[in-house]
Chain A
Amino acid sequence: MRAATFVFIALVVGAIVFALSLLARNEYVLFAGFVVLQYIVLATAWNILGGYCGYVNFGTAAFFAMGAYSTVALHKLGANPGRYLAGTFAEALIPLFPLSIPVLVVIGGLVSGLVGFGMGYLTLRLRGVFFAIATLALAVVLQTLIINWDFVGGSRGAYVIRPDSIALGPVSLSYIEYLYLVMLSLAVLALCVARQIERSRLGFGFATIRDDELAAEASGVPTLRLKLIATALSGALMGMAGAPLPYYIGYVEPAAAFGLPYAVNSIAMPMIGGTTSWVGPLIGAILLGTLQQIATVTISSVVNLLIVGVLLVAFVIIAPKGIVGLLQDRWRARLQP
C-alpha cells in the first residue's frame, strides 16, 4: 500500500473514531480514550528505537515529562508575559501567548527530540543493558532537575487551568473533546511515521542495527547516525504525547509526570503487540490500555501495573514475538512447503 493511501485511510479511520466517540455522549469515554491514544503514541514512539533498532529505552517517562513540562513552562510564561519577558524581542513575542495546544505539541516534540538527540549522542556507543541503564539514569537526572526548577512548580507541582470549550472555526468543542482530537491526531501521525519508516531505507537500516550492528556497519550502514535519528524521532513523539497532559489532568507534579506506568506501559505494549511492525504497538496499546481503563473503574487503578506484569510474563512465555510475531510465524509456516 502506498504511503499516501495509508495516510488517507488512517485519517478516515481517525475521523470515524472521533465521530463515534462523540456519539457516545459520555465524557468518560473521551477521558479514557485520551489515555489509550496517549499510549498508542508512546508505544509507537518507543518502538521506533526499541523495536526497530533493538535499543531498549527505560526513559520514556522522561521524554514524556519534558513535553508536559515545556507546556507548563510556556503556560506560565503566557499567563503573565510582561513579568517574565522584557525588551523588544520579548514584546514581539507577547502577542503570541497563550500558545495553542498544537503549537505546544510541536514545541514539546522539539524539546524532547533535542533531549533524545543529546541522549543518543552521549549513550549510543553503549549497547544492550548498559544503554537501557543509561536511559533510566537520564530519567532520574531530568526528574531531579524538574524537582529543583521552581519556575515550573518544583516538587509541589503546577496547576494548569484549561478553558471549558474552544471554537474551531464554526464548530465549538468542549475542551476534553478538543484534547481527545489532538491526541487522536497525534496517534494517527505517530502510526503514519512508524509505518513510513518501516517501509523506507531508514527502516531497513534500523532492522540491520537490531539484527547485527557489526554486520550493518560492514554493509555500509551509518549505524551511529541512524541511531541518533531514532532517538531524536522517538523522543520527539514521546514529548508530543506529553505536551497536552497538563491541560488534561490540570495539575502536573514530577512524581506523576515521570511516573513508572509510562515507562513500563510503553515497553509492555509493543512487546505484547509485537515489536517488528507498526501494528504491534497499536494492538498492544489498545489491548492493555483498554484493560487498564476497565480495571480502573471496576477494581482500582492500583491493579494496572499488575495487569501489565501478568500479561507481559504470559506473552514472554507464550508469544515472545508478540501477537503480530505469532501471527506472522503461523502465516510463514503455512506458506512453507
Chain B
Amino acid sequence: MTQPLLEIKGLSKRFGGFVALDGIDLEVAPGERLGLIGPNGSGKSTLVNCICGTLQNEAGSVRFEGRTIDGLPANRRTHLGLARSFQLPRPFVSLTLIDNLRIPLIYTVAPRAGMLARTTRQMDERCMELLAMVGLDSRARRWPRDLTQVEMRKLELARAMAAEPKLLIADESMAGLSHSEVEDIIALLLRLNGQGITIILIEHIMRAVMSFSQRIAVLVSGRKIADGKRDAVVNNPEVVSAYLGQ
C-alpha cells in the first residue's frame, strides 16, 4: 500500500474552553484531490493551521511523507513541501507581483536545491511562468493593490505554487467569486493536480467541491463525521443533517 503523503492521527486543538478540533484522523494519498467541507466554525481552518504549523496541536500527530512534523515552524513545513493559500488573500503589499512570487523561490526552492539563490534571470523566468499560469503575467510589475479580488486569489495560488509544493491546501480560494471565476480556479487546480501536486480543497461552494474532489471529508464541531467517495458522503444522513438540519 502506498504511504500516505499526509497522515493525521487524533489531532486536537482547544482555544480556552472551546474545542476546535477533537481527535481528527485523516489520510491523504499522493496525487489525491481531497475536498474538506463543513459548516462555519467546524474547524476546517484550524485544521489547516495545525497542518501548516501556524497553530500547534495539543494532542495527536501530523506526519508528512512519513515524518512527524509536530512542533516544526511553518516555514520548515513549507520547505518540506507543504503550501497553502489563505482564506482571505494575504499578499505582500509593498512588493510587486513578481517579487511576491520571488519570496518562496528565494526562501524555499533555492535552499531546498542547495543553492544560496537562483540567478535573478532564472527566478524572473519562473515567476513569469507562474504569473502566466494564473493570467497575471501582464501585470507582473504592478502592486497587489491594483488587483481585483479574483486576481488576488490567483496571486495567492501562484505564490503557493512558487514554493513547488507536494501538497497544496487551498483554503476557500473561491469565496465571493462569480460562476466563471470559480470555473477558472477549478481548472487551475485541476491543472496543478495533473502536474502531480496533491490538493486539499476547503470550500463552501458545493458545486466546486463536487466537480474537483475525488474524496470528501466532512468536519462538524471539530469532529470528522464522514470521509469517503463524493456520492457516499453527500448522501450520508449525518452530513445532510449537519448541513440542512434535522
Specify the chain B residue showing the minimal Cβ separation from A223.
Answer: B75
A218 to B157, CA, bound (A): 12
Instruction: Scan B100-128; emit 1 where CB is below 8 A from any A CB, else 0.
Output: 00111011100100000100000000000
In the complex, the answer to whether A216 meets B73 with C-beta atoms within 8 Å is no
Specify the chain A residue showing the minimal Cβ separation from B117.
Answer: A201
For residue B138, CB closer than 8 A to chain A, the reply is no
For residue A276, CB closer than 8 A to chain B, the reply is yes
In the complex, the answer to whether A220 meets B108 with C-beta atoms within 8 Å is yes
| Listed stretches B85-93, B206-214, B229-237; interface member | B85-93
For residue A221, CB closer than 8 A to chain B, the reply is yes
In the complex, the answer to whether A204 meets B90 with C-beta atoms within 8 Å is no
In the complex, the answer to whether A276 meets B94 with C-beta atoms within 8 Å is yes
In the complex, the answer to whether B91 meets A218 with C-beta atoms within 8 Å is no
Known: A201-B106, A204-B102, A208-B103. A217 touches B95 (CB 8 A): no
Give the distance to chain A from B81, nearest Cβ to Cβ, in Å: 11
Specify the chain A residue showing the minimal Cβ separation from B108.
Answer: A220
Which A residues lie within 8 Å of B90 (CB)? 212, 214-215
For residue A222, CB closer than 8 A to chain B, the reply is yes
For residue B222, CB closer than 8 A to chain A, the reply is no
For residue B167, CB closer than 8 A to chain A, the reply is no
In the complex, the answer to whether A218 meets B83 with C-beta atoms within 8 Å is yes
In the complex, the answer to whether B92 meets A218 with C-beta atoms within 8 Å is no
A16 to B21, CA, bound (A): 66
Partner of A208 from the list B54, B92, B143 (CB cut-off 8 Å) is: B92
A212 to B91, CA, bound (A): 8
Interface size class of B (residues with CB under 8 A): 20 to 34
The residues in A between 11 and 35 inclusive whose CB is less than 8 angstroms from any CB of B are none
Partner of B93 from the list A211, A217, A219, A220 (CB cut-off 8 Å) is: A211
Give the distance to chain A from B162, nearest Cβ to Cβ, in Å: 8
For residue B74, CB closer than 8 A to chain A, the reply is yes
Give the distance to chain A from B166, nearest Cβ to Cβ, in Å: 14
Which B residues lie within 8 Å of A220 (CB)? 75, 78-79, 103-104, 107-108, 111, 163
Instruction: Scan A151-186; emit 1 where CB is below 8 A from any B CB, else 0.
Output: 000000000000000000000000000000000000
For residue B53, CB closer than 8 A to chain A, the reply is yes
Partner of B99 from the list A204, A216, A218 (CB cut-off 8 Å) is: A204
Known: A211-B94, A223-B75. A218 touches B107 (CB 8 A): no
Specify the chain A residue showing the minimal Cβ separation from B107.
Answer: A220
For residue A109, CB closer than 8 A to chain B, the reply is no
Give the distance to chain B from A165, nearest Cβ to Cβ, in Å: 47
A214 to B75, CA, bound (A): 10
In the complex, the answer to whether B107 meets A215 with C-beta atoms within 8 Å is no
Which A residues lie within 8 Å of B83 (CB)? 218
Which B residues lie within 8 Å of A223 (CB)? 75
Partner of B103 from the list A214, A221, A332 (CB cut-off 8 Å) is: A221
Which B residues lie within 8 Å of A207 (CB)? 92, 94-95
Specify the chain A residue showing the minimal Cβ separation from B143.
Answer: A332
In the complex, the answer to whether B54 meets A219 with C-beta atoms within 8 Å is no
For residue A210, CB closer than 8 A to chain B, the reply is yes
Which A residues lie within 8 Å of B160 (CB)? 218
A257 to B107, CA, bound (A): 40
For residue A289, CB closer than 8 A to chain B, the reply is no
In the complex, the answer to whether A219 meets B103 with C-beta atoms within 8 Å is yes
Most buried by B among A207, A211, A220: A220
Which A residues lie within 8 Å of B159 (CB)? 219
* Residue positions of A touching B, CB distance < 8 A: 201, 204-205, 207-208, 210-212, 214-224, 276, 332
Given A212-B92, A222-B75, 15 additional A-B pairs, CB 8 A: A201-B106, A201-B107, A204-B103, A205-B103, A207-B94, A208-B103, A215-B91, A217-B53, A218-B86, A219-B75, A219-B104, A219-B108, A220-B103, A220-B163, A276-B94
Top 3 closest A-B pairs, CB basis?
A220-B108, A217-B74, A215-B90
* Residue positions of B touching A, CB distance < 8 A: 52-54, 73-75, 78-79, 83-84, 86, 90-95, 99, 102-104, 106-108, 111, 117, 143, 159-160, 162-163
